[in-house]
Amino acid sequence: MSITLYHCTDARSLRPLWCLEEMGLDYELINLPFPPRVFAKEYKEVNPLGTIPFLVDGDTRMSESSGICHYLTQRYGPTDLALDVDHPEYGSFLNWLYFSDATLTFPQTLVLRYTILEPKERRLPQAAEDYANWFSGRLRHVETALDGKSFLVAGRFTIADIAIGYALHLADTLNPLKDRLGPNARAYLDRVRVRDAFQRSQEKQKT
């Protein structure tokens, strides 16, 4: 077994964990307390950034969740989870992968920080509300894209759906954000969360 994934419960590392389960690959999962840079200080010897996820595959080291999903599909494909470069929706496929973190998950992490993770005296309710509104504005793009569609691209489930599905899953676990999902996003989230691979990933992170 050459693949090792460092993971925290429902952190961004859920994206590659879900991808590994969808692809049926063998891997070792190392569950860590969140945030590991505080509660598992030895982890910084593995990943000096102290961030989650972290994938080790032979000589390959990766720390970006959507990038890891893309890597896995290319390294261990072919798989229907990815689109070929000559597919007419390839550009859209890549855009959703990057959009998922840079545009959706980024404001979520700030809401999480300033409503839950920081000590009460350091919490910033106005900043959290501002970033929650930012998230809502970006979420409208997802709501529109899903109108009349089951999945984001190519009429099938891909790692773009893992990337965006995780962002919606995270939002659904955060009280300031869970009620901001529109009907299309809510139905889509319900649809991707019933997948066997997602359910397995939820079980794996409990061990």
pLDDT value for 1: 56
Residue pair 83/158 in contact by the 8 Å Cβ criterion:
yes
* Average pLDDT estimate for 44-59: 96
d(C-alpha 22, C-alpha 166), whole Å: 14
Mean pLDDT of 17-41: 95
Q: What is the DSSP string of the chain?
A: --EEEEE-TTSTTHHHHHHHHHHT---EEEE--SSHHHH-GGGGGT-TT--S-EEEETTEEE--HHHHHHHHHHHH---TTS--TTSTTHHHHHHHHHHIIIIIIHHHHHHHIIIIIS-GGG--HHHHHHHHHHHHHHHHHHHHHTTT-SSSBTTB--HHHHHHHHHHHHHHHSTTTGGG--HHHHHHHHHHHTSHHHHHHHHHTT-
Question: Is residue 207 predicted with pLDDT exceeding 90?
Answer: no
**Poorest-pLDDT segment among 27-31, 82-86, 107-111, 143-147:** 107-111
Enter the pTM of the model: 0.94
Mean pLDDT of 195-201: 98
Residue 68 contacts residue 19 (beta carbons within 8 Å): yes
What is the per-residue pLDDT across 112-167, written as a single tens digit (0 to 9) for each? Answer: 889 887 888 998 889 889 999 999 999 999 999 999 999 999 999 999 999 999 99
**pLDDT for 78-89, tens place per residue?**
999 999 999 999
Cis-peptide, bond into residue 78, ω within 30° of zero: yes
Class of domain 90-193: mainly alpha
Domain 3-80+196-204 fold is Glutaredoxin (3.40.30)
pLDDT score recorded for residue 38: 87
Give the mean pLDDT of 169-180.
Answer: 89
Which residue ranges make up each domain of the chain? 3-80+196-204, 90-193
